[in-house]
Chain A
Amino acid sequence: SQKIEQNSEALNIQEGKTATLTCNYTNYSPAYLQWYRQDPGRGPVFLLLIRENEKEKRKERLKVTFDTTLKQSLFHITASQPADSATYLCALGAGGGNKLTFGTGTQLKVEL
């Protein structure tokens, strides 16, 4: 069955450092992968999308890589700030106007 794994342990880093979050998947051939941010008590908010034929995508301080051979995506936040503290979810889609499958998310805490 399809499986998406994100590190369940919280990631604690210092302000100014680069945070790197991992999303691994098995038994899936996604057309694209998305990253969402979720704050406590709120719904997830879309951040970035990367397609299967793309290696890397950037948006301001965010960078996503996608390795379909390793079946892995890495999500980087450079120059992290306490305001970046949240849970980050990856989601895979097969395309065709279809549903997404979400990972369980990784909590990031950026400390002063």
Chain B
Amino acid sequence: DVKVTQSSRYLVKRTGEKVFLECVQDMDHENMFWYRQDPGLGLRLIYFSYDVKMKEKGDIPEGYSVSREKKERFSLILESASTNQTSMYLCASSFPSGLTDTQYFGPGTRLTVL
């Protein structure tokens, strides 16, 4: 069965801390994505990666960076967390078939920055 896991379900950090969110998929997918989801704003793409060591900015990359050293793992980094980064963070992966691009999501990490 397809599986995307995220390192934490809930996380509480302080302003200015460096935060790492980890995502692992076991489907050998090339594509991986990081979104944040806020009420009324829906899913917004932060960064995505279509191969190891490759990354592309999404719609809201400011304040975030990513790392993809291995195919199965995609990390989201908040260099200096701020309160406006309090949100639900969702990781997803997909196989780049060009026909469907169906995404498989992890359970999400609810991050609170105090």
Interface residues of A (CB under 8 A from B): 8, 32, 34, 41-46, 49, 89, 91, 93, 95-100, 102-105
Contact = CB atoms under 8 A, between A and B. Distances in A.
Contacts of B92: 43
B98 A97 contact: yes
B103 A100 contact: yes
Interface in B5-49: 30-31, 33, 35, 40-43, 45, 48
A34 B101 CA distance: 9
A3 B76 CA distance: 26
Interface residues of B, number: 29
B111 to A, nearest CB: 13
A46 B102 CA distance: 7
B89 to A, nearest CB: 10
Nearest to A8: B40
A101 B106 CA distance: 17
B110 interface: yes
Interface in B71-114: 90, 92, 96-108, 110
The list of the 7 closest CB pairs from A to B, nearest first, reads A97-B96, A43-B105, A104-B42, A102-B43, A97-B98, A93-B101, A46-B102
Nearest to B104: A46
